[in-house]
């Protein structure tokens, strides 16, 4: 069986370096291309046996899957090329607007896309567990989502935290855009029981901690996931790449990859 040819965007970043290591360790994958933005000091250097390039079109010719954990604008630029060249995508980028997400959905008519705010197997199991917890604890419990990440993370709350909130809101029949509370300061009044609160922590080298707190009278239920290494995200991304190899064009998430639906 031929190996799956993987291209990696943002190859010199923290996540990109971890992906390079994970691809090198996989028997069924081969690194096809490593991408970086124009002006990067890493351009022309070798990574995993290939030269880092900013020429997206040339780099992606012949690739099977592009794995992209960059920024929304960069990912959308890569998306146009992938759609034209029929290269599937695994997208772990966060911070997309609704309009940008619609662009991903349109491209999924022609290529396979696994798009998830978090590629970790454990976090995606957490999404599934939250559905059950939210149904059982729908009445009499205040729901708060607490997340912590490293000092370099640029968006808040994290895409994973928002994804957790969306699972809870959907299960409870709420609209997250209407019930989310992203900050509290001063005299805020009593807590509205229909809201879902978010608290954000940034500091040090925290890879990613997420807790969903259900606070009732006389008890608290906390469902927590803590990542100690980015390897959990890269291994999940490679699992998604393998999934796309055997599935038709369409929009998928990690729940599809892990057969949790």
Q: Cα 213 to the chain's mean position, in Å?
A: 21
Residue 212: the pLDDT is 98
Q: What's residue 165's pLDDT?
A: 97
For residue 92, what is the DSSP state? -
User: Does the domain made of 4-119+230-257 have the CATH classification 3.40.50.720?
Assistant: yes
Pairing of β 142-149 and β 196-202: parallel
How far is Cα 122 from Cα 181, in angstroms, rounded to an integer? 26
Q: Do 196 and 162 touch, CB atoms closer than 8 A?
A: no
pLDDT for the residue numbered 95? 87
Domain ranges in the chain with CATH number 3.30.360.10: 121-227
Q: Which residues contact 171 (CB under 8 A, 6 or more apart)?
A: 130, 131, 134, 135, 138
- Reported pTM: 0.81
**Residue 112's pLDDT is what?**
98
Q: Is the peptide bond before 157 cis (omega within 30 degrees of 0)?
A: yes
- pLDDT value at position 8? 98
Active site residue 149: yes
pLDDT at 125: 92
Question: Which H/E stretch holds residue 40?
Answer: none
Set 3, 37, 61, 153: catalytic member? 153
CA distance 118 to 195: 23
Fold of 121-227: Dihydrodipicolinate Reductase; domain 2 (3.30.360)
User: Where does CATH 3.40.50.720 sit in the chain?
Assistant: 4-119+230-257
What parts of the chain have a pLDDT lower than 50? none
Which position among 149, 225, 245, 247 bears the catalytic label? 149
The candidate with the shortest Cα–Cα distance to 208, out of 110, 94, 112, is: 94
- Give the list of residues 6+ apart from residue 185 with CB closer than 8 angstroms, or none: none
* Cα–Cα distance list, 158 to 33, 133, 147, 163 (Å): 28, 21, 7, 9
pLDDT at 261: 80
């Amino acid at each position: 069986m031929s190996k799956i040819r993987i291209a990696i965007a943002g190859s010199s970043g923290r996540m990109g370096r971890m992906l390079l290591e994970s691809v090198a360790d996989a028997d069924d994958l081969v690194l096809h291309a490593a991408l970086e933005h124009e002006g990067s000091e890493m351009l022309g250097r070798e990574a995993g046996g290939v030269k880092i390039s900013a020429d997206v079109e040339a780099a992606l010719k012949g690739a099977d899957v592009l794995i992209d954990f960059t920024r929304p604008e960069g990912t959308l630029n890569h998306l146009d090329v992938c759609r034209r060249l029929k290269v599937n995508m695994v997208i772990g980028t966060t911070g997309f607007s609704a309009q940008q997400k619609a662009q991903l959905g349109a491209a999924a008519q022609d290529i396979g896309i696994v798009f998830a705010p978090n590629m970790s197997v454990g976090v995606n199991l957490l999404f599934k567990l939250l559905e059950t917890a939210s149904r059982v604890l729908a009445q009499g419990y205040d729901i708060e989502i607490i997340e912590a990440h490293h000092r370099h993370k640029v968006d808040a709350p994290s895409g994973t935290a928002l994804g957790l909130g969306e699972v809870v809101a959907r299960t409870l029949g709420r609209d997250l855009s209407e019930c989310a509370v992203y900050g509290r300061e001063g005299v805020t009044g009593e807590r509205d029981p229909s809201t879902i609160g978010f608290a954000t922590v940034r500091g040090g080298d925290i890879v990613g901690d997420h807790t969903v707190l259900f606070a009732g009278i006389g008890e608290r239920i906390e469902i927590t996931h803590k990542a100690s290494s980015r390897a959990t995200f890269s291994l999940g991304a490679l699992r998604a790449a393998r999934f796309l190899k055997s599935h038709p064009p369409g929009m998928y998430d990690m729940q599809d990859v892990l057969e949790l639906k």
